[in-house]
Amino acid sequence: TLDGLNALLSQLGADPIPKISGLAAHPLSRPIDIYRVYLADIVARLIGCEAPLVYESLQSPTSTANGDLVLPVPRLRLKDGKKPADQCSNLEAAFPESHPLFRKPKATGIHLPLYFSPLSLSRLVLPYIFQRQQAYGSNLDTGLRNDPTAPATTDRKKVIIEFSSPNIAKEFHAGHLRSTIIGAFVSNLYQSMDWDVVKINYLGDWGKQFGLLAVGWQRFGSEDELARQPLKHLLDVYARINAAFKPEQEASKRARDEGRDTAEIESQGLFAERNAFFRRMEDGDAEALALWSRFRDISIDRYVATYARLNIGFDEYSGESQVKTETIKRVEALLQENGVYTEHNGSWAIDFEKHGSKGLGLAVVRGRTGTTTYLLRDVAAVLDREAKYAFDKMIYVVSTEQDLYFRRVFRTLELIGRADLASRLQHVNFGKVVSLSSRLGTVQLLSDILDQSRDALHEVMRRNTVKYAQVADPDAVAEAVGISAVMVQDMSGKRINNYPFDISRMTSFEGDTGPYLQYCHARLNSILRKAGLTRDDLVDHLSQHPDGLDADVLSKQHCVDLLRLMAQYPDVTATALRNLEPSTVLTYLFRLTHQLSSCYDVLQVVGAEGGRDVMLARAALYEGARQVLENGMRLLGLSPVESK
């Protein structure tokens, strides 16, 4: 609470937190905002400008070596006729000689870098983390959610996050893997920021390929195989019929390339069988739909089990098949009314170029044989979801290969007069995984990818025979750490970057990998265990000896730097909410773990000089760091393992 915070501040000798209205400050969930508010107040008084302007001008340096916050003085737009560098050194001179929260700053050119006072870090930030625990870094349980001076609001915003979305009876490829990992992160992030999150899996469960699968099932299907390995069998059936279909498809493509009519070719053989079956599905034929719905249900059943290994649960398994026919008709009527629907070689299309969208080309909306398209179903799905959920925002986590496609979806909504709706949609894209299959051999399903990483990790563990013998449940550890390996590799770079799937690198315990993060977390866990301490011991100690870490923060830069990093975490998650980049959080966690590993020698717990009080104070420091690491890992969707 604000009172609790002010009590901590008064122990430090600081005045209560200044009340400044109109600031987007979250002092109860982001400790650095406390410092920002004080700074805004101090600087505004010193030079007689508006505190909110100072607040907004403050920046976070990319490295803690350049300060905890920095004030670029030109941003204050002072009208005293002096040069910015002089304004800056005047500000330095006027800054209080000693302040409970800040060290005396030293100007560097036009920038005033500010450093938090070491004592404020240990006495403010550490209890802060202990108090917030799992909520540290989130907007949950803050009581007042935003500006503490503003009235509390209860209406949470709703976001739909659509991710993973594999195609039934087809390979779960790298694009689906990345969508799953990034989508889960984006969902966790919004949840932690107190949004009402609806997770949708939009299955590829409709379209002509389903007609082809059904034709394949009539030839190659086996009930026994389907019961034994449903996903594998459907893949197999589809692969076989697809192989048989290839020659026909190629003949049709050749005809098209040569400018001949393809209608004749497509009215025979598997083409005709496929189209006829899909036609039956679209016409609502009970028998056709029964087969389709069996395949769909069986597949979802298996997906649910595999996503559970990643701690992912969807609120809705929707899919292309679930889009309402009436809505599809409504979209087409709107296209007509708005004069953007044109007939094109027997199909219905939108010529985006003609309607002010250069580069979007022409897209078929309803096919020549009268069937709906991916695009038409997607546009209608937006309207269905709006009616069902009244969302404030909807995010599609899909690869960059569909960049153009999503621009068409959004543009189509604008063209039917729903610019308001289009503006609430966002496509969160990502690059490719280079040669996933060739490196892993025969992966086709998500469970294959997870199995192979788990097994590779298990192999790495076995190499250290001594340690291996001490692991209580090696299978469980291999599973959790193996999955972290895949996920961390995926989230290490910016989303847009491509990366190679490198199983030996990602399962290594060295370098910035998932196993390394897991190892760091387990090591922090073992500190308390080895010292024979519980969390409650630490909480007690911290409240009775708020000065326990004073000697360390005053003499050891390692300790100060660790706390400075720990204070940043809520700022990191706030940045991540803006850019939706898992790497923002992951890069931070690696900085934190690197800082930790340089602390262990300097700040020992067991056998610390200075006796039990020092031991407890340092154990609290490490426990605080562990909490931050755990929160970051969970946000990324990783399950921290308890012991190494």
Q: Is 398 an interacting residue with respect to ligand ARG (CB under 6 A)?
A: yes
CA 640 – CA 633 distance, rounded (Å)? 7
> Minimum distance between the CB of residue 202 and ligand ARG, rounded to whole angstroms?
5
Judged by beta carbon, residue 348 or residue 396, the one nearer ligand ARG is 396
With CB under 6 A, what is the number of residues at the site for ligand ARG? 8
Binding mask 466-505 for ligand ARG (x = CB under 6 A): ----------------------------------------
Q: Is 429 an interacting residue with respect to ligand ARG (CB under 6 A)?
A: no
Question: Structure tokens of 443?
Answer: 């992966």
> Minimum distance between the CB of residue 229 and ligand ARG, rounded to whole angstroms?
21
Residue whose beta carbon is closest to ligand ARG: 204
Q: How many CB atoms lie within 10 A of CB 587?
A: 16
> Minimum distance between the CB of residue 234 and ligand ARG, rounded to whole angstroms?
15
| Angle in degrees, CA 627, 631, 634, rounded to 5 | 135
DSSP-H helix ranges across 48-151: 51-57, 84-94, 118-120, 126-132
Q: Which of 282, 332, 378, 448 binds ligand ARG (CB under 6 A)?
A: 378
Question: Structure tokens of 126?
Answer: 């550490």
Choose the binding region for ligand ARG from 146-154, 162-170, 486-494, 573-581 (rule: CB under 6 A). Answer: 162-170
> Minimum distance between the CB of residue 245 and ligand ARG, rounded to whole angstroms?
19
> Minimum distance between the CB of residue 162 and ligand ARG, rounded to whole angstroms?
6
Choose the binding region for ligand ARG from 20-28, 56-64, 159-167, 277-285 (rule: CB under 6 A). Answer: 159-167
| 3-class secondary-structure state, position 224 | helix
Judged by beta carbon, residue 87 or residue 209, the one nearer ligand ARG is 209
Q: Is 204 an interacting residue with respect to ligand ARG (CB under 6 A)?
A: yes
Q: Is 513 left (phi over 0), alpha (psi -120 to 50) or beta?
A: beta
Nearest to 428 by CA among 404, 409, 400: 400
Q: How many CA atoms lie within 13 A of 338 on its CB side?
A: 18
Q: How many CB atoms lie within 10 A of CB 134?
A: 13
> Minimum distance between the CB of residue 475 and ligand ARG, rounded to whole angstroms?
32
Hey, which bits of 273-367 come out as E strands?
316-319, 342-344, 347-351, 362-366
Judged by beta carbon, residue 479 or residue 490, the one nearer ligand ARG is 490
DSSP letters, 162-187, are: E----BTTS---HHHHHHHHHHHHHH
> Minimum distance between the CB of residue 320 and ligand ARG, rounded to whole angstroms?
8
Q: Is 328 an interacting residue with respect to ligand ARG (CB under 6 A)?
A: no
Choose the binding region for ligand ARG from 118-126, 161-169, 343-351, 495-503 (rule: CB under 6 A). Answer: 161-169
| 3-class secondary-structure state, position 310 | coil
Q: Is 421 an interacting residue with respect to ligand ARG (CB under 6 A)?
A: no
Q: Is 231 an interacting residue with respect to ligand ARG (CB under 6 A)?
A: no
Nearest to 519 by CA among 471, 466, 563, 568: 471
Judged by beta carbon, residue 124 or residue 186, the one nearer ligand ARG is 186
| Angle in degrees, CA 623, 629, 630, rounded to 5 | 85
Q: Is 202 an interacting residue with respect to ligand ARG (CB under 6 A)?
A: yes
Judged by beta carbon, residue 318 or residue 518, the one nearer ligand ARG is 318
Are the beta carbons of 311 and 197 closer than 8 angstroms? no
Q: Is 396 an interacting residue with respect to ligand ARG (CB under 6 A)?
A: yes
Burial class (CB in 10 A: 0-12, 13-18, 19+), 466: exposed
Backbone angles phi, psi at 364, to 5 degrees: -75, 135
Q: Is 167 an interacting residue with respect to ligand ARG (CB under 6 A)?
A: yes
Judged by beta carbon, residue 300 or residue 551, the one nearer ligand ARG is 300
Helix (H) or strand (E) holding 451: helix 446-463
Judged by beta carbon, residue 202 or residue 210, the one nearer ligand ARG is 202
Judged by beta carbon, residue 202 or residue 516, the one nearer ligand ARG is 202
Q: Is 363 an interacting residue with respect to ligand ARG (CB under 6 A)?
A: no
Choose the binding region for ligand ARG from 160-168, 519-527, 575-583, 627-635 (rule: CB under 6 A). Answer: 160-168
Judged by beta carbon, residue 328 or residue 538, the one nearer ligand ARG is 328
- CA R_g for the chain: 29
Q: Is 205 an interacting residue with respect to ligand ARG (CB under 6 A)?
A: no
Per-residue burial over 553-566, b = 16 or more CB atoms within 10 Å of its CB, e = otherwise = beebebbbbbbbbb
> Minimum distance between the CB of residue 167 and ligand ARG, rounded to whole angstroms?
5
Contact partners, residue 187, CB within 8 Å, separation at least 6: 161, 163, 197, 199
Q: Which of 165, 201, 299, 306 binds ligand ARG (CB under 6 A)?
A: 165
Catalytic positions: 170, 173, 176
Nearest to 306 by CA among 185, 422, 189, 451: 451
Name the residues that contact ligand ARG, by CB under 6 A.
162, 165, 167, 202, 204, 378, 396, 398
